[in-house]
Structure formats: structure tokens, C-alpha cells
A = this chain, B = another copy of it.
């Protein structure tokens, strides 16, 4: 019953261009001082009401943002994952639209495409892999990807986002049927252009009532 090192870690994911990316920070302290790692820190029993609050605090302190979506992922523990001794980390994952991150981003914050992650300290790689698996799984039957989209977006953009996450192309008609079935989008008056010589797409935003909720489909996709 000797002391256990209790920490939280956060896999902070965002959409960078056409790729999923994770937020990494350069570690200020040992172990692995100077290495890039995902945000994390000790649980502060005197400050944190629970591990979820600890994760929110870590995100806020290290990146300056309040993540629109934050969920517990899994707890990683063991004698060998941290050179300091037997440790336990409650891993979380958060989804953030990139503009939110860019607005607050200082030099210490690195946004690295998940396809280009180098070697990471601790079991951070396993945490990221688990987060990606969870995200991809939930993308099959929920509105989760919407938390990666910006404030407003078009249906073609949203479909490309789902396709990116699921790694397969989707049927346009079916995709729109499903979005309509979820009933989470409000059209925004005024159209969308930028894309050039073709019909502009309707802009949508998440309905206020579901801005903080996850909507789930009965039969997926």
C-alpha cells in the first residue's frame, strides 16, 4: 500500500487541415524533460473535485482553452510506465476545433498530425491510439465528429470529416438522411462560397440544445 503516483493525461485532438492532429507540449520537468508529450499532471486533491476536473484544469493551464468535449478514456497503470515508480494515470481525450486552439496557442504548444508522431514518453502513444480508436468507433454512430468542426460548416465539409475519421467514403444521400435523422443541425442564413465556380453550400451550426451533448444513432453511420 505504498504511495501510488496519481496523474491525469489528456489526448487533445483537433483537425489540422485535412488531418487529425494531437496537441503535444515540451516537458518542463523530469522525467523526459524536454521531450514532447501529451498534456498531463498530478491530480491535486486540494484543488480538483475529481479526475475530470483535474483534466479540465490541465487543459486550461497548459493550452489556455476550455475544451468543448472532454471524456474519460481509460486508466493506464503499472510499475513500469513511469520511471519514478508505480503510477496510475486517468487518461482523457478532448476534441477542439483548430481555430480555438490557434487563438490561444503559444510557442510551447505543438499540434502534430497523428500520422507524424515521433516516439513519445510514458505510454502516451498507447493513450493516443486508444483515443483514436474511441473517436473512430463513436464516429460510426454519433455526432462526435461535430466537436472537431468549427462553429459553422457545410454538409460536404462534415461528410469529408466523417470520411476522414472512418477511413472510407460515404454515400451522400445516406449521410444526409442520417444527419437529418439526428436532428442536430440548424441552417445558417447566408450561404457559403470560397470554393469557386459552383453552387455554394448551405452553412449549418449545431443546434443550441445539443451543443454540449452527444447524439447517438439507432443503427449507425
**Chain A residues close to B by CB (< 8 Å):** 1-4, 6, 42-46, 49-51, 72, 74-75, 77-79, 85-86, 88, 90, 219-220
Contact = CB atoms under 8 A, between A and B. Distances in A.
Contact of A50 (B44, B51, B77): B77
12 contacts: A1-B45, A2-B45, A3-B3, A3-B45, A4-B6, A4-B45, A6-B6, A49-B79, A51-B77, A72-B74, A75-B75, A88-B88
Contact of A51 (B72, B75, B220): B75
Contacts of A90: 75, 77, 88
Contacts of A42: 1
Contact of A45 (B44, B72, B75, B79): B79
A51 B78 CA distance: 7
A44 B1 contact: yes
Given A43-B88, A45-B85, A72-B75, A4 B4 contact: yes
A45 B85 CA distance: 9
Nearest to A85: B45
A84 to B, nearest CB: 12
Contact of A220 (B2, B79, B85, B220): B220
A86 B2 contact: no
Contacts of A45: 1-4, 79, 85-86
Nearest to A72: B74
Nearest to A78: B50
Given A43-B77, A51-B77, 8 more contacts: A1-B42, A2-B45, A3-B45, A4-B43, A4-B45, A6-B88, A43-B88, A88-B88
Interface centre among A75, A78, A85 (most CB of B within 10 A): A75
A129 to B, nearest CB: 16
A209 B88 CA distance: 32
Contacts of A50: 77-79
Nearest to A89: B75
Contacts of A78: 49-51
Q: Which of A3, A49, A74, A88 has the most CB of B within 10 A?
A: A88
